């Protein structure tokens, strides 16, 4: 344990430097939010991928958090399909909406292409590149969706690498998005490091191996969801994720997060089944969660969302669970907006 006091969100931002691109990134987000406000669109912030914790200032080594960015990239596509404008805040080089279908490992892009000699051309004419016949239908549907999103200007992407980049960006983007008030949805699917090395404790140069074993004492990353709910966002609908490897912890941890942070919804998922089932956990009453643990079962509502498990490991699942997640969230978000409006008019 570190002997110094744990970082609060406030002390974190007062002592850890912002990333160099922050100002530029904020201007881009501000412009995007203004455009969506004019068009009266709901906007979702999707965070995606893992964050790193560098061990040196001139970084050679770092710790990483597990996440390919599949959940975030896939969800972003379905949010766009559902009519949301999307701010996609992702780990640099992790999966992205649309291009995710052609990642180098699962569906190499070059395998889509064929070299074809024009049938009636002279022998020295240039061969043509074309898309393999059996791939055309799928490619056409992805490309059509991609081009339509580009034309409508509904996707804005931002990249982070370290947990420090992530925290600064998350705060700034949340503050910008708060202009949309309840029309903003926050979908925090990134896998965020729980521990970090403050800049003041980092070695400037590559840590040398001559001393034998390496001992590093890390500080805890502040729990920023509380600040996000209470300070950075005004009235937004906040969805966090809870990843566990022990299924018995899913419900207690999700409930604890809702009690502690006071946001709207936790999506709990277990590492090995996360592509086929997730659990939506919400407070049963939007206004209060009872303190008495005896009332706990009635204080929360839990709903499983599931899709079929593919019959073989290589078979592609018919439906992506993110489609179900996003449809359900869009429904709940719109219901929540209407309830808020109603309560406002009754006052």
- Residue with Cβ nearer ligand PMT (26 or 191): 191
- Over the Cα atoms of the chain, what is R_g? 23
Of 85, 190, 197, 299, which one interacts with ligand PMT (CB under 6 A)?
190
Query: How far is 145 from 303, CA to CA, in rounded Å?
Result: 30
Does position 329 interact with ligand PMT (CB under 6 A)? The reply is no
Of 33, 86, 188, 254, which one interacts with ligand PMT (CB under 6 A)?
188
Does position 100 interact with ligand PMT (CB under 6 A)? The reply is no
Please identify, among the stretches 12-20, 34-42, 129-137, 186-194, the one whose residues bind ligand PMT according to the rule CB under 6 A.
Answer: 186-194
Does position 69 interact with ligand PMT (CB under 6 A)? The reply is yes
Query: What's CA 71's distance to the chain center, in Å?
Result: 7
278: left (phi over 0), alpha (psi -120 to 50) or beta: beta
Q: How far is the CB of 194 from ligand PMT (least distance, A)?
A: 6
- Residue with Cβ nearer ligand PMT (135 or 234): 234
Q: Are residues 42 and 87 in contact, defined by beta-carbon separation less than 8 angstroms?
A: no
Does position 189 interact with ligand PMT (CB under 6 A)? The reply is yes
Query: Own/partner pairs for 326-335, CB < 8 Å, 24+ apart?
Result: 326/75, 326/78, 326/79, 326/81, 326/82, 327/78, 327/82, 328/280, 329/185, 329/187, 329/239, 329/265, 330/79, 330/82, 330/83, 330/84, 332/237, 332/265, 333/42, 333/185, 333/237
Query: How far is 165 from 52, CA to CA, in rounded Å?
Result: 9
Does position 67 interact with ligand PMT (CB under 6 A)? The reply is yes
Closest-CA residue to 9 (of 236, 164, 181): 164
Query: How many CB atoms are located within 10 Å of the residue 174 CB?
Result: 23
Q: How far is the CB of 118 from ligand PMT (least distance, A)?
A: 43
Six token digits for residue 26? 């904020």
Tokens 């390496």 correspond to 214
Please identify, among the stretches 136-144, 182-190, 300-308, 335-343, the one whose residues bind ligand PMT according to the rule CB under 6 A.
Answer: 182-190
Q: How far is the CB of 188 from ligand PMT (least distance, A)?
A: 3
Please identify, among the stretches 19-27, 34-42, 80-88, 184-192, the one whose residues bind ligand PMT according to the rule CB under 6 A.
Answer: 184-192
Does position 251 interact with ligand PMT (CB under 6 A)? The reply is no
Tokens 């068009």 correspond to 39
Site string for ligand PMT, 254-283 (x = CB under 6 A): ---------------x----x---------
Does position 71 interact with ligand PMT (CB under 6 A)? The reply is yes
Please identify, among the stretches 112-120, 135-143, 149-157, 217-225, the one whose residues bind ligand PMT according to the rule CB under 6 A.
Answer: 217-225
Q: How many residues does the chain have?
A: 347
Residues at the contact surface with ligand PMT, assessed by CB under 6 A: 47, 67-71, 188-192, 221, 224-225, 240-243, 269, 274
């Amino acid at each position: 344990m570190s002997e110094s006091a744990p970082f609060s969100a406030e002390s974190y931002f007062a002592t850890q430097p912002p990333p160099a691109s922050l100002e530029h990134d904020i201007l881009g987000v501000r412009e995007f939010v203004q455009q969506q406000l004019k068009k009266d669109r709901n906007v979702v912030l999707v965070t995606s991928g893992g964050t790193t914790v560098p061990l040196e200032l001139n970084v050679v080594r770092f710790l990483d958090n597990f996440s390919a960015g599949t959940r975030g990239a896939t969800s972003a596509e379905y949010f766009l399909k559902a009519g949301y404008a999307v701010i996609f805040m992702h780990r640099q080089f992790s999966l992205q909406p649309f291009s995710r279908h052609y990642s180098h490992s699962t569906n190499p892009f070059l395998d889509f292409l064929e070299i074809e000699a024009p049938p009636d051309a002279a022998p020295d004419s240039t061969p043509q590149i074309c898309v393999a016949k059996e791939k055309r239908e799928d490619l056409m549907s992805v490309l059509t969706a991609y081009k339509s999103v580009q034309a409508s200007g509904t996707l804005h992407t931002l990249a982070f690498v370290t947990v420090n980049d992530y925290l600064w960006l998350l705060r700034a983007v949340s503050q910008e998005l708060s202009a949309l008030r309840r029309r903003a949805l926050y979908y925090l699917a990134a896998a965020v490091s729980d521990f970090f090395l403050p800049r003041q404790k980092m070695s400037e140069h590559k840590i040398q191996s001559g001393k034998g074993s390496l001992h590093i004492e890390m500080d805890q990353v502040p729990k920023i969801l509380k600040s996000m709910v209470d300070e950075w966002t005004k009235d937004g609908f906040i969805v966090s994720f809870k990843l566990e490897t022990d299924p018995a912890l899913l419900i207690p941890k999700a409930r604890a997060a809702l009690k502690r942070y006071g946001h709207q919804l936790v999506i709990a998922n277990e590492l090995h089944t996360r592509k086929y089932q997730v659990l939506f956990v919400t407070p049963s009453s939007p206004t209060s969660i009872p303190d008495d643990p005896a009332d706990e079962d009635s204080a929360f509502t839990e709903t499983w969302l599931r899709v079929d498990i593919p019959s073989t490991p290589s078979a592609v699942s018919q439906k992506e669970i993110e489609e179900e997640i996003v449809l359900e969230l869009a429904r709940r978000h719109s219901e929540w907006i209407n309830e808020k409006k109603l309560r406002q008019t009754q006052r």
